[in-house]
Amino acid sequence: MSEWLFAKGRQAMKIAFLGDVHGCVLHALGAAVVLRRRREIRLDAVIQVGDLGAFPSSGRWDESSRRFGGDHPAQEDFFRLLDPSPALADGVRSALGQIPSVLFVSGNHEDHDWLASLHDKASAEVVPVDPLGAYRHVACGNVVEVAGQRVAFLGLIEVPGKMDLDESAYARLMAAGPGDVDILVTHDGPYGMSHDRRGNVQGSPKLTALLEHLQPRLHVSGHYHHPNGPRHYGRTTSYALAQLVRPKSTRWEPEPVNPEQRVTAGSVGLLDTETGDFAYVRDDWLADVRGDALDLAGLVAAHS
């Protein structure tokens, strides 16, 4: 059994982690609902690692989101969530009757100005982004108590420009002491975690430094769209999640790779806070969550 000091004396809980969503927010809720039912567990928290695809309208999409959105109708589910039909609202409410609202951190494909305006308006570190409260954004640099764990959130990626890591948020976390954080959730990953198709090293040197300083027991990230881990940084075990719904095809894979828009194995992770065990979810039933127009209400009813 893994030693998790922060779990001693606390109630055992289950936390699900979701990879990059890119607008497919109904698939994300559906995956959590099916995970709960198939594993016959209670989910005490659901955390998404950024690139939720949080834009107030398609007119605010960045170029990459616009390029992929035309071939992937489910990418616009986030907009449907902002102004839900009665049927969609019923499906979301049914899902939220089985799972908690999803906490998420900023990725590099969100409308950061819009998210900041929601925090400013509410004067809060955690704010709902949709009228049903299905998704709640955590501002970068905050440590939030989640299912009995001290979870730090740091979004964006280490790259010059508007998507770069927030300096003040990074500094706040670096000012925390080693062991002050149990779980670190980031969008980018630590430097050297993998290589891209051209052989370039992927990851953020700043995040490596943060991991080595904070030494949380668990680190979970996304961004690179493939499972990666476990990797070890002192006492920290680090994992990266796959993209929740892979594109139907890519410029590197012109043949259809996910024509039915199924949820990807390795895009969901599950933590048991009592044992400290983290595992990728690769079960065949993940493929039950699929389609350009996911019937969330039907999926929830089938897994109630």
CATH number (domain holding residue 280): 3.60.21.10
Does any domain span residue 3? Answer: no
* Residue 5 belongs to some domain of the structure: no
The residue segments making up the domain with residue 130 are: 14-302
> Are 99 and 303 a contacting pair, CB within 8 Å?
no
pLDDT of res. 10? 57
Is there a contact between 216 and 241 (Cβ–Cβ < 8 Å)? no
The answer to whether the beta carbons of residues 172 and 141 sit under 8 Å apart is yes
Tell whether 175 is covered by a domain: yes
Prior bond of 100 cis (ω within 30°) = no
pTM of the model: 0.94
Q: Looking at the domain assignment, is residue 9 inside a domain?
A: no
Query: Is there a domain that residue 101 lies in?
Result: yes
Are 16 and 30 in contact by the 8 Å Cβ rule? The answer is no
How does pLDDT run across 12-67, given as a tens digit for each residue? 899 999 999 999 999 999 999 999 999 999 999 999 999 999 999 999 998 888 88
**Mean pLDDT of all residues in 87-113:** 97
Q: Is residue 2 part of a domain?
A: no
pLDDT at 6: 38
pLDDT tens for 105-146 read 999 999 999 999 999 999 999 999 999 999 999 999 999 999
Indicate the number of domains in the chain. Answer: 1
- Encode pLDDT of 237-284 as tens digits: 999 999 999 999 877 777 888 999 999 999 999 999 999 999 999 999
The residue-averaged pLDDT of 184-192 equals 97
Map tokens 């790779």 to a residue.
257
Token duo for residue 61? 């999409």
- CA gap 55, 290 in Å, rounded: 22
Structure tokens at 160: 């010059």
Domain assignment of residue 43, yes or no? yes
pLDDT at 7 over 80: no
* 3-state secondary structure (DSSP) of residue 299: helix
Mean pLDDT of the chain: 93
Q: Does the residue 155 lie in any domain? A: yes
